[in-house]
Amino acid sequence: MTTVESDRWTPVTLGVRHGEDPGGSGEPPWFHLVPGTRPLAWLVGGSQLFEVTQSDFDRLAAGDAALVAALSDMAVAGPTGPASPPEPPTAVSLALAQSCNLSCSYCYADSGQFGGPARRMPVDVARRAVDNLVEGADGRRVTLGFIGGEVLLHREALHDVVAYAEDRAGAAGIPIGFSITTNGTLVTPADVALFRSHSFAVTVSLDGGAGVNDAHRRSRRGGGSFERAVAGVAELLADPGLAKVAARSTVTRHDLTVQERVEALGAVGFAEVGVSPLRTGPDRQARFAATDWAPFLAEMVRAADAEMERIAAGHPPRFTNLSTGLREIHRGSARPLPCGSALSYVAVGADGDYWTCHRTVDNPAYRLGDLDEGLSATARQSFLDRRQVDATEPCRSCWARYLCGGGCHAEVDEVGREGCDYIRGWLEHCISLYAECQARRPELLRAMGVS
């Protein structure tokens, strides 16, 4: 059993598994007990959180039949899978440029080229993808995302497609949102104006301060990218207009720190910073190994504690891994899949093929059709059926299955599920934090938009 002590908040105990298999029936666990100063019961099906007394906690842990039955009275069934056939997606990302001006060591897209030649998406391909998206929307809000490569290498197409999509959505009377992921180094004033006026969700890939960032995020000529990226997004950060700008940091095993990354990127001017561990990619030395997850969890907990202190001191929230986690716990989010991939969201590659998401572009195992033939309902359905947490182990036997959803499809398929203890530990910490805040500091949750 690993115990991660947090200085200021509830300690997290890993490895305690209650309700995993009550009575040894072989049924999936339906509740999970989170120990701590505020003992908690998590009901898996509906992601419901209850506080219990220590004596009830002990009785539940011991399998007290009457109390377990009483708890089951509160439980609801788990989430159902997607409709069959799945509805048309409401989000599409366009790989406008399958190329990049940087050559980050760990890039899953192989410098944006996904293992092939550098390509640009013709404007008419992008427009047809928009047509399909709008036509399938049936009144629902749609999101058009731009992910590369580096999208701004094909700036003309970006500006054209945004204007086109806006017209199409306007004519159909459906709301539309835009998002882009960029390395920030090529942003021009015209791009800034576009992001500001069209409520873009802008995600800038930056790993931390200059030293941390430039260790992996380098230009093709070998120089660091931090200074150029910061200069590129400075104007947007100073006045985001209607845009929402966030930094996304990739954590490698060379440097597992989290809090320092969040602080460094906050200092640059980002109001939101999120981190992700590196599981896959060409740089095997940088990828997480089995021994990295426990210290990484400790780093995440340390960053979460620092964030809570910051918010308690009156600063706005910044660390999005925490605020997102707390928000999902507050809502009682329960889903059988980790993301909208192949369901509400698909990607279109430069050649006009549909892929399950932006990470699987040009990988034949994940192809879902093309713009001419349309999305294959069969391909989507079989992809989704195989990946629901109730259909696969070890997810089926995990209490956190409906919060986690089973992990990124692309990563799991490539390297398996090594980080599950970390995910459970992080979720337990967020659950404990949430309970503590609900009881003693609800204003902190409100400050994080969790209400």
Partner 1 sequence: MSGRFVPLNLSARLQQSATGNPAAARLASGVANCFPGLEFDHRNLDRRFFPGLVVEFADPLVAQPSMGGVVTLVDLDDPVLDDAAVTHPELPDDLAALAADMTADPRAWWIVRIVQGGVVIDPQTIKGLELDSLGTWRIVRSLEPGPVQLVLNRFGDDGVAAGEVTLDGPRRAYLAAGDSIDAGYAPGELTQSLCSPWQHDFRDCGCYYWASNHPDIAIEAVQPGEEPGVPPPPGTGWVNWLRARPPRDNVPELGYYEISERYQDLAVVLRDRESADPYRPDTAEAAVPYATTDELVAELRDGLAPLEHALTLEYLYAWSSVRSPQEVAALSDGDLADSLPLRFRADPAHPLDGVSDRPGDITYLRSRLRRDVTFLREQLRSTAISEMRHLSWVNLLLRKLAAMGIGTPYAPALGIATDIPAGLPGATRPAALRPLVHATVADFEAVERPTGGLDGLYARVRATLDTPELGGELYDIASRIVDDGVDHYSSFRRMAMIVDVYDQPSPPHLRPGFTLAPRTEPKVARALQAQRGIMTLLTLGYSGDPSQIAEARGLMLAGLEGAIDSSARQGFGVPLF
Among 18, 330, 387, 424, binds partner 1 (CB under 8 A): 330
- Which tokens sit at 394? 């070890």
- Would you count residue 331 as binding partner 1 (CB under 8 A)? yes
# residues near partner 1 by CB under 8 A: 49
Output the smallest distance, CB 218 to partner 1, in A.
Answer: 37
Output the smallest distance, CB 48 to partner 1, in A.
Answer: 4
Among 14, 34, 44, 71, binds partner 1 (CB under 8 A): 71
Q: What is the DSSP letter of 117?
A: -
Length of the chain: 451
Output the smallest distance, CB 165 to partner 1, in A.
Answer: 10
Pattern 89-128, partner 1, x by CB under 8 A: -x--------------------------------------
Cα 280 to Cα 350: distance, rounded to the nearest angstrom:
23
- Would you count residue 239 as binding partner 1 (CB under 8 A)? no
- Would you count residue 323 as binding partner 1 (CB under 8 A)? no
Among 62, 65, 76, 365, binds partner 1 (CB under 8 A): 76
Closer of 50 and 414 to partner 1 (Cβ): 50
Region near partner 1 per CB under 8 A, out of 2-10, 103-111, 113-121, 162-170: 162-170
Region near partner 1 per CB under 8 A, out of 2-10, 39-47, 118-126, 303-311: 39-47
- Which tokens sit at 268? 């640059």
- Tell me how far the alpha carbon of residue 126 is from its chain's centroid: 25
- Which tokens sit at 224? 């660091």
Closer of 324 and 438 to partner 1 (Cβ): 438
Assess contact for 385 and 343: CB atoms under 8 A: no
Output the smallest distance, CB 19 to partner 1, in A.
Answer: 14
- Please identify which residue in the block is written with the tokens 């919060």: 403
- Would you count residue 11 as binding partner 1 (CB under 8 A)? no
CA angle (417, 247, 283) in 5-degree steps: 45
Cα 15 to Cα 240: distance, rounded to the nearest angstrom:
44
Q: What is the DSSP string of 224-273?
A: B-HHHHHHHHHHHHH--TT-EEEEEEEE-TT----HHHHHHHHHHT-SEE
- Which tokens sit at 178? 């835009």
Closest to 99 (Cα-Cα) out of 119, 115, 116: 119
**Which residues contact partner 1 (rule: CB under 8 A)?**
39-41, 43, 46-57, 59, 70-71, 73-76, 90, 138-141, 166, 169-177, 198-199, 242, 329-332, 334, 434-435, 438
